[in-house]
A and B are shown apart, each in its own frame.
Chain A
Amino acid sequence: MSTYNFSMQNKVAIITGAARGIGKAMVRAFLEAGAAVAAIDLDGTVLEKTVNELNAEDRRILKVVTDISVKNQVEKMVAEVVDSFGTVDILINNAARQIWGPLLKTKEDGWDSIFDINVKGGFLCAQAVRDIMVNKRSGIIINLASMAGILLDRNNGAYAASKAAVIQMSRAMAGELAPYGIRVNTIAPGITDTRLAYGAVVDGELDARFKGIIPLGRAAEPGEMASVALFLASDAASYITGTTVIVDGGMSISGMNANTTDS
């Protein structure tokens, strides 16, 4: 039995982008670890399905359909979480949009949509829980970036720029909140078997283009991001703040040349 407390018993976690993929895996992981989870997503239909799938008698789960790029919706959501569960201990800014195509051919509304969800959304959510965490002198914020925010895949520049922004935003939050006992860190996933991977993973199999550049030889399961989040939210990470944990099967070791064709 480990002396470190990886339990989330009596903790309240808000997880955005909870309907699918990594967010869904995080909801499952935190529920299993004993947390009360507020599952947040824009897609009410899929969110309901997910919550029904993961709900159980001994679990506390709340769903709130929210557009995280709209400030008053975010504030309303947090108020509802506090109303249901009494507080907020953990915020996982996971919701994100993907966009493909050359950066300089991206439409203006496409650019705005990416930055509104991927960056502004995380900012608004963190802002909305700040005072709760500061007053308690404790809290955890985990921001999901991407290896795209560190390396380049050549065909998703706007997404990549937004994820780079998340990394620096996360560090700024960490510096500001450290004196209040709040830890803020970033997870940068590599290629994960989710909708956002778009063609990199087909039917659970890693596309041939990527086989050579991922030393572990496979894509990640969403659960392999959830386990890292569980670690970062736990006491085992008590001295970790302001950092980015790369979870990419070794992809970034020698760059990310997937030999994708330039379009």
Chain B
Amino acid sequence: MTSISFSLNNKVAIVTGASRGVGKAIALAFADAGADVVVASRTVPDLEETAAEIRSKGRKALIVKTDISQKPDIENLVKQTVKTFGTIDILVNNAAQLVVSLPSKLRDDGWDKMMNINLKGCFLLARETSQVMIEHQKGSIINIGSVAGMMAVPYESAYAISKAGLIHLSKILAGELAHYNVRVNSIEVGLVKTRMSALVWKNPENRKVWENNIPMHRIAEPSEIAAVAVFLASEAASYVTGASICVDGGAVLAGFNPDIMGATLPEDLRIHK
């Protein structure tokens, strides 16, 4: 039995975008590790499924309908969590949306959407949550970024920039909050099998091209991202703060090939020279 602890026993965690994909996997993994989980997203029926699975693991689940682009929703999420559990130990900023477009064709509202949801929403929730964590002098914030925030792939445009912003936000938060014993880190997700990345894996031929260009030759399961979130939230990561953990099967190592991978994309996302 190891004296190093990966347990989250009796911790209280907020996970946004917990209705499906990576967020759901994280919420369930946290419950497995012993945490009670507040599940937040815009779709309550999906959240009810996640909550039921958490409860079947013997942990408590609280559903809070939340649109992270709406400030009152964020304030309500934090308020409901503290009202129910008295504290917040872990925040996972996972909720995000994807708009794809080459930058020369990106509309104003596409840019705004990416910044408001993927960056500002995460900032607002981190700020509100940090008040509670500062008060209790403990906490762990995990921001779900993307390799798109590290590699400048043109068609990911505003999404990529919002994620690059989130990676930096994570470090900015870490620099201040460490003084209150609150650790902040980000996970840079590569290819993972969720609804958001369907463009890449729904078509079997496209999927093969993308997987061949990742050193590990496969796409990740959401649980493989969730595992890293469990580690970061645990005592095993006690000296890890301000870090950006790449969970990408080596994708950043290999880079993006516009000729090969770009060829799998729809016409309007390909750069025509």
Fill in one digit per residue for A232-245: 1 if any B CB lies within 8 Å of its CB, else 0.
00011111111101
B178 A174 Cβ-Cβ under 8 A: no
A174 B227 Cβ-Cβ under 8 A: no
- A225 — which chain B residues lie within 8 A by C-beta? 239
Fill in one digit per residue for A202-245: 1 if any B CB lies within 8 Å of its CB, else 0.
00000000000001110011011111101100011111111101
A44 adjacent to chain B (CB < 8 Å) = no
- B171 — which chain A residues lie within 8 A by C-beta? 253
B242 A240 Cβ-Cβ under 8 A: no
B253 A242 Cβ-Cβ under 8 A: yes
B239 A4 Cβ-Cβ under 8 A: no
- A237 — which chain B residues lie within 8 A by C-beta? 227-228, 231
B153 adjacent to chain A (CB < 8 Å) = no
**B212 to chain A: closest CB distance in Å?**
10
Nearest residue (CB) in B for A191 is B239
B175 A253 Cβ-Cβ under 8 A: yes
A1 B253 Cβ-Cβ under 8 A: no
The CA-CA distance from A253 to B225 in the complex, in Å, is: 23
One of B32, B215, B239 near A3 (C-beta < 8 A): B32
Segment of B1-9, B74-82, B94-102, B201-209 engaged in the interface with chain A? B1-9
| Chain A CB within 10 A, most for which of B176, B215, B223 | B215
B249 A250 Cβ-Cβ under 8 A: no
Q: How large is the interface on A (under 10, 10 to 19, 20 to 34, 35 or more residues)?
A: 35 or more
One of A230, A240, A248, A254 near B2 (C-beta < 8 A): A230
A110 adjacent to chain B (CB < 8 Å) = no
**B144 to chain A: closest CB distance in Å?**
14
Which residues of A in the span 1-17 have a Cβ within 8 Å of any Cβ on B? 1-4, 6-7
- B29 — which chain A residues lie within 8 A by C-beta? 2-4
One of B179, B230, B250 near A241 (C-beta < 8 A): B250
- B130 — which chain A residues lie within 8 A by C-beta? none
The CA-CA distance from A78 to B224 in the complex, in Å, is: 31
Nearest residue (CB) in A for B180 is A215
**A74 to chain B: closest CB distance in Å?**
26
One of B1, B4, B178, B245 near A250 (C-beta < 8 A): B178
One of B175, B178, B228 near A240 (C-beta < 8 A): B228
The CA-CA distance from A7 to B34 in the complex, in Å, is: 18
The 3 A-B residue pairs with the shortest CB-CB distance in the complex, in nearest-first order: A215-B178, A178-B215, A236-B227
- Residues of A at the B interface (CB closer than 8 Å) are 1-4, 6-7, 29, 32-33, 171, 174-175, 178-179, 190, 215-217, 220-221, 223-228, 230-231, 235-243, 245-250, 252-254
- Residues of B at the A interface (CB closer than 8 Å) are 1-4, 6-7, 29, 32-34, 171-172, 174-176, 178-179, 181, 190, 215-217, 220, 223-225, 227-228, 230-231, 235-250, 252-254
Can you identify 21 A-B contacts, CB atoms within 8 angstroms? A3-B223, A6-B2, A6-B6, A29-B2, A32-B1, A32-B3, A174-B250, A215-B178, A215-B242, A225-B239, A226-B4, A231-B236, A236-B228, A239-B225, A239-B247, A241-B249, A242-B215, A243-B252, A247-B239, A247-B240, A250-B174
